[in-house]
Chains A and B, each alone.
Chain A
């Protein structure tokens, strides 16, 4: 469980994070979104105890990170924006060091290192020097490092940055598998990632929360406000008016020749009537598909409306 209450962080006169509060139950995966410089990294650094907040409290499994730093830090696995790697060590030496530093008991150390190397696909490179590894492998070592103490709270700052598409999919799978027993906070720029992995979304902008919702209700909203894309081979003047005349159509925009974007009323189905109209009018239907109204649009909407 992670409990963040009225977190504020100021650097001199600059306010990085202001009055940030949220709470995560065990097993929840939080997608932590926001434009660059919104305060994501600062918030994560405060939660992990790397830096103290100016005001506010953070509890990790009920332990205050300021009052009981050593106990609370034992429960956290943290992958910073730049993976904290020693380039002169081999992968297994490094994981051994991290396990020692995080005070993993001697009994569990071997099996825990073995497990994270398996999970992160590092077994084959365990003897290689970290400085010689590719960016993707370095990122995996970074994730392995965060997991080695079997943390109950996992905090990942842009875990899939710099990876190729195949690795991104692997890492996402890994994070998905890791959740369950753990509470995960994940910051990212890649919004589809959130839809795939997370159960909850917090969007922050200029240090403040602008949206906090479960992914379920966001998906509902996405589905409800889905636009349609229509392309026909013989467009006709006045086609827009005809389309508008269908019940439950809220708006029509004309794109390139023969292309239309149609906005239905929320939650209403108009595809059947629309296709009938096109066929009856003899326009020659080429394409009719839902336009993906994604998290991206919601993100841009809340970010820009906050800006105004």
Chain B
């Protein structure tokens, strides 16, 4: 466990020593805040609509602002995660530093974990930044706090799954761009595969990465959804490990 630390430290350093992490954080924050503002504006205008009074139970601040805001964040994550993970392993191969890592007394899984955790740290920072908007809402309104927490747990699991797919894509090539395109393609496929059904009715619906998110947004945490995300994370990391291991045997 201790040997993960130097890898993790170097990855974080490399994110924040280059403009990459800052650009990602700014782009993420600007886009999500813009959408947050639109949803909030819509909610405020809707309160003056006479029909609002009839559905006041349904159309609360959670359903009209926070839920779509989380939806936006999940889409932005889909777009941004490939940019976070693309260099993780591809860059080591291109710089020949893979030879340093694989001839040092480290297990391959240590290297993969260290890099994955660094990407998770970036994800957590993004999610924390996005929560500023929610806190503003709490000062002036009265949203359901439990649903916010479960929504964030869901977003974290979703983002963590995306990252594990991304790190696998990065292990397949030494070209960052190719890694980004592969992970974006796979993530989009995983997203759209169950677009026409829900998580229970069909297999494709079950496989879809976004179907498992819906309940988290509503404040419902189900074991099967957590299991789905943890399996996806494990699968991504395992494939990364296998791809690095098999490369040396070829």
Q: Do A and B come from one complex?
A: yes
B17 touches A84 (CB 8 A): no
Closest chain B residue, CB of each to CB of A65:
B103
Q: In the complex, what's the smallest C-beta–C-beta distance from B213 to chain A, in angstroms?
A: 35
**Contact across chains for A101 and B95 when beta carbons are under 8 A apart:** no
- Of B5, B13, B103, the contact of A76 (CB 8 Å cutoff): B103
**Count of interface residues, chain B, beta-carbon cutoff 8 Å:** 26
Is B231 interfacial (CB-CB < 8 Å)?
A: no
Which of A66-74, A262-270, A274-282 lies at the binding interface? A66-74
Residue A22 at the B interface, CB < 8 A?
no
**Best-surrounded residue of B6, B14, B99 (most CB of chain A within 10 A):** B99
Min C-beta distance of B224 to chain A, whole Å = 39
- Whether A73 contacts B10 by the Cβ 8 Å rule is no
Contact of B105 among A11, A51, A74 (CB under 8 A): A74
Chain B 98-118 interface 0/1 with A at a Cβ cutoff of 8 Å (1 = within): 111111111100000000000
Q: Is B140 an interface residue (CB 8 A)?
A: no
Contact of A50 among B10, B18, B248 (CB under 8 A): B248
Q: Are the CB atoms of B106 and A86 closer together than 8 Å?
A: no
Any B CB within 8 A of the CB of A226: no
Interface: B86 (CB within 8 A): no
Cβ contact within 8 Å between B97 and A52: no
A85 to B14, CA, bound (A): 13
Interface string of B239-250 (1 = CB under 8 A from A): 000000000111
- Complex CA gap A73/B3 in Å reads 15
Chain A residues near B106 (CB, 8 Å)? 70, 101
Minimum C-beta distance from A82 to chain B (A)? 4
A84→B101 CA distance, assembly (Å): 9
- Closest B residue, CB atoms, query A84: B100
Nearest Cβ distance between residue B65 and chain A, in whole angstroms?
A: 40
Q: Chain A: interface residue count, which band?
A: 20 to 34
Task: Kindly state the separation between the CA atoms of A82 and B92 in the bound complex, as whole angstroms.
Answer: 12
Residues in A whose Cβ lies below 8 Å from that of B6: 97, 100-101
Q: Is B7 an interface residue (CB 8 A)?
A: yes
Q: Which residues of A have CB within 8 Å of B9?
A: 97, 100
Residues of chain B within 8 A of A73, CB atoms compared: 103-105
- State whether A100 touches B249 (Cβ < 8 A): no
Q: In this assembly, does B96 line the interface, its C-beta being within 8 Å of a C-beta of chain A?
A: yes
A83 adjacent to chain B (CB < 8 Å): yes
Q: Which residues of A contact B (CB under 8 A)?
A: 11, 45, 48-52, 69-71, 73-74, 76, 78, 80, 82-89, 93, 97-98, 100-103, 145
| In the complex, chain B residues 34-77 whose Cβ is within 8 Å of any chain A Cβ | none
Closest A-chain residue to B5, C-beta based?
A: A100
Q: Which of A70, A82, A101 contacts B101 (CB 8 A)?
A: A101
* Shortest beta-carbon distance from B133 to chain A in Å: 33
**Chain B 1-35 interface 0/1 with A at a Cβ cutoff of 8 Å (1 = within):** 00101110110011001100000000000000000
Q: Distance in Å from the Cβ of A142 to the closest Cβ of chain B?
A: 9
**A76 vs B107: C-alpha distance when bound (angstroms):** 16
- CB-CB under 8 A from A11, the residues of chain B are 250
Query: Cβ of A97 and Cβ of B95 under 8 Å apart?
Result: no
Chain A residues, Cβ within 8 Å of B14: 86, 88
- Minimum C-beta distance from B245 to chain A (A): 10
What are the residues of chain A within 8 A of B18 when measuring CB–CB? 88
Name 12 interchain pairs, CB-CB below 8 A, sorted by A.
A50-B99, A50-B248, A82-B96, A82-B99, A84-B97, A84-B99, A84-B100, A85-B95, A86-B10, A86-B97, A100-B6, A101-B101
The reply to whether B10 and A97 form a contact with Cβ atoms under 8 Å apart is: yes
A87 vs B13: C-alpha distance in the bound complex, in angstroms?
12
Q: Tell me how far the C-beta of B4 lies from the nearest C-beta in chain A, rounded to whole angstroms.
A: 11
Complexed CA–CA distance, A78 and B106 (Å): 15
Q: Most chain-A CB neighbours within 10 Å: which of B3, B10, B105?
A: B105
A84 to B96, CA, bound (A): 5
**Known contacts A84-B95, A97-B10, A100-B5; is-contact A51 B249 (Cβ 8 Å):** yes
Given contacts A52-B249, A84-B95, A87-B95, contact A145 B107 (CB under 8 A): no
Complex: how many Å from CA A52 to CA B246? 10
Shortest CB distance B31–A (Å): 27
Closest approach, in angstroms, between the C-beta of A248 and any C-beta of chain B? 53
